[in-house]
Amino acid sequence: MAETGATRERSWASAVARWPLDLLHHILRAVPNAIDGFFRDRLTQHAAGIAYRVLFSLAPLAIVLVWIVGVVLQDDQRRQNVIDEIVSWLPFTQEGSDTVEDAITRLASPTSALGLVSLVLFFWAASGMMGALRTGLEAALRVERRRPAVRAKIVDLLLVVGAGVLVIVMIATAVVAQIVTRLAASVADELDVETGLFSELVKVVVPLLVSTVVVVLIYRFVPARRLRFRDAVAGGVVTGLLLLAISAASALVYGHVADLSVIYGSLTAVLVFLYSVYLYAAAVLFGAEFAAAWAEPAATGPGEPLMAQVKNAVLGLFVRRDPPAGPPPADGR
């Protein structure tokens, strides 16, 4: 019995020691497959379709979000702060934002039967972008049997409601992050410690965690294919990192947008917004493709050396490599 316990302990320790290397092998196998599948499944076109639908569904979605915020939040000041945040996402200049905000607030506060019917129509129109997202995810995950039309539209409508809840959760998370930062700053003042690094980490870690959790839920429940939780988490982490990188790069790109206004004029803000949404949508779809590649079973038998896997992974991005031929059938045919 003592030998059995010692053997199990050594086996467990060996598995823990091999875990980083196994994880690296899994990543090197999944990344090239995900990149290849991203272009093979034409996810760039799906990302462009999502950006197009977002542009035309944005105003109805903003109206629905403002209505949801008005129902959930009873405090006038907080409700106004959230509405200002929603309107700031729209591709309008600062001068036009006030007029747009007044119009959206008025439409989101129906006082007649006709206003209620209009709100229902806005709700339906806002679901178009969710349908485009669902279709793109199902293409990335290679879903063969999709939901019937009515069930698919119900999922899209639920996503619109989920977007409203997400807005409120993000605002609440930002408030909590500010409270934690202030508490840390007060404690640091008493201990005479700098908190600049902690504040920067909070600004990076909190959005990364929120985006990762949201994406994992989307991967798990939106497509008509139930991913395993660990596969959804793998794709969610990749997507969260990509979204963080795109957000950081966008801050640099916006600094040079003034040069484009000479060519496109007042359309510059819309074009920049459209391209940003395209990049974000491409990141979400690539994460789904990575999750699908991560879910594929690894090859059995002795693996190749790590450097050989790295070489094959890089080579596979440029040259299509056929899988190795299997063993011949037992009957010789």
Q: How confident is the model at residue 312 (pLDDT cuts 50, 70, 90)?
A: low
Q: Which pLDDT score is estimated for 210?
A: 83
Nearest partner of 57 among 90, 8, 16, 96, judged by Cα: 90
Q: Which pLDDT score is estimated for 263?
A: 60
User: What mean pLDDT is predicted for residues 82-107?
Assistant: 63
Q: Which pLDDT score is estimated for 1?
A: 47
Q: Which pLDDT score is estimated for 191?
A: 59
Q: Which pLDDT score is estimated for 301?
A: 46
Q: How far, in Å, CA of 302 to CA of 305, rounded? A: 9
User: What mean pLDDT is predicted for residues 292-311?
Assistant: 66
Nearest partner of 49 among 278, 256, 328, 292, judged by Cα: 278
Take residue 218 and report the two structure tokens written for it. Answer: 């989307």
Provide the residue ranges of all domains of the chain, joining segments of one domain with +.
29-296
Identity of residue 76 = D
User: What mean pLDDT is predicted for residues 306-322?
Assistant: 64
Q: How confident is the model at residue 181 (pLDDT cuts 50, 70, 90)?
A: low
In the predicted structure, residue 243 carries a pLDDT above the cut 80: yes
Q: Nearest 5°: CA angle at 331, between 329 and 333? A: 65
User: What mean pLDDT is predicted for residues 224-253?
Assistant: 86
Q: Which pLDDT score is estimated for 285?
A: 95
| High-pLDDT (> 70) share of the chain, % | 55
Give Cβ neighbours of residue 137 (< 8 Å, ≥ 6 apart): 218, 219, 222, 223, 284, 285, 288
The whole-chain average pLDDT of the chain stands at 74
In the predicted structure, residue 330 carries a pLDDT above the cut 60: no
Q: Which pLDDT score is estimated for 332?
A: 45
Residue with the bigger pLDDT between 39 and 180: it is 39
pTM exceeds 0.85, yes or no: no
In the predicted structure, residue 194 carries a pLDDT above the cut 50: yes
Q: Which pLDDT score is estimated for 60?
A: 80
User: What mean pLDDT is predicted for residues 124-147?
Assistant: 88
Q: Which pLDDT score is estimated for 197?
A: 62
Q: Dihedral of CA 284/289/292/296: which sign?
A: negative
pLDDT in tens, 248-296: 887 666 666 656 665 655 667 777 788 888 999 999 999 999 999 898 8
